[in-house]
Amino acid sequence: MNEIKEFRGKYFFLSNFFETPVTWQGITYQNNEAAFQSAKVINQKNRQSFASLNPSKAKSKGRHVQLRNDWEKIKDNIMYEICYCKFSQNEELKKKLIATGNALLVEGNTWGDKYWGVCNGTGKNKLGKILMRVREELKSTE
């Protein structure tokens, strides 16, 4: 089985830092990272403040919010919802994701994220697994 080992270069579109509008729970964000970071808070007005941020600013802002109490329980499902929105709302990206075929998608990184990705060969690769799930679900809608 072939493997995509990082979301850079021609596979950057798989990254949450890829700039493409995504509408999640009634707010349109400039990228997945902003949508995901906004989900750390419950208040809709506070979420809205993430909508126009680039991925780096959204990630930074997300580190300084008061986390909702259920965050650890729901963050995986929220990531799934936002990734599904990204690829189902953008036909070109949907086609590119499906075109990865049955490749193993691995969010390889050098910044130590062993939850969403893999660093130095170790990690849960939750984002990669979510993207493979979304890919399978979108294939069935073709």
Within the chain, where are the H helices?
A: 32-38, 44-48, 55-62, 71-89, 91-98, 126-139
Residue 40, exposed/middle/buried by CB under 10 A (0-12, 13-18, 19+)?
Answer: buried
Q: Determine contact, residues 11/4, Cβ cutoff 8 Å.
A: yes
- Per run of 10 residues, the mean pLDDT along the chain (length 142 residues) is 93 98 97 98 95 98 96 98 98 98 96 96 98 96 77
